Amino acid sequence: MNIYTCLNEIIEYIENNLENDINYSKMAQIMASNEYTVKKVFSLISNISISEYIRNRRLSNAGFDLYKNNEKIIDIAIKYQYDNPTSFSRAFEKFHGIKPSLVNNNPEKLKVYPKLHFNEEILSNDNMEYSIIKMEELVVYGKGIKTTYSTINDDAPRFFADMRKRFLEKYGEIDYGMVIYEDRCDGYNYNYEYWIAYNKKIDEFEKIIIPQSKWLRFRINSQEAVDIQKVSRDFYEKFITSSKFNLRELPELEYYHNDITDFLVPIED
């Protein structure tokens, strides 16, 4: 199934259940994958996490209900799955910039967050050559930064270049780039991390242990950021839903060696 068709089905499921509990396992069934894969693919393609999208749609509808239907705040809070009016009011004000109690006097301040829709006509027959490898526990030492989906393509190369300039003479070439995805939004702030890492012990760096796992390996005959980013984008837009692999909740790796890059995606056994 086309990835965008899957995502549109997931959007419809969310829309039909904004006033009910939303089951991530149901979304996983739609995409024929595990829940982590759904969350990761959704956020990478739509540039918003599923949880944030659901929250935005609920708060958008809540504003309409308060103004048009003149419903009570406590009833709206319960309707859109908030535990209590206080937590609802706090989230509402953060989203709309106005307290729910003041909506009738200031309706022009309400924000509308539209329902997402993906273009299902985007098709691709591109082949991506890969291999499946198994790696034992990996211990590396690195430094990282907070970033976001919309800024990582600029942040990561800049951070990599800065780290290489600072540490090349002292520690040699960087061995790995590492991306950590988080399905959360902390006040609309950062939800990804990008790290550089070395295979050798470096006391001033943080120790990172990556458990034994199987990986999909896509070999790139380049170490240029634009080439690595293209393969990463193609993987999530063209490869993952046409394959039978479930992603594992581990960092995504870029292994730099011999003038090439191995783009490594962790998968379940």
pTM: 0.74
Above 90 in pLDDT, residue 234?
A: no
- Residue 210: which region, alpha, beta or left (left: phi > 0; alpha: psi -120 to 50)? beta
What's the pLDDT tens digit per position in 16-63? 999 999 999 999 999 888 999 998 888 888 878 899 999 999 999 999
Q: Answer with the residue of higher pLDDT: 137 or 187.
A: 137
* Whole-angstrom distance, CA of residue 245 vs CA of residue 265: 10
Mean pLDDT (the chain, rounded): 89
- Residue at 111: amino acid letter: K
What's the pLDDT tens digit per position in 84-125? 999 999 999 999 999 999 988 888 888 989 999 887 765 544
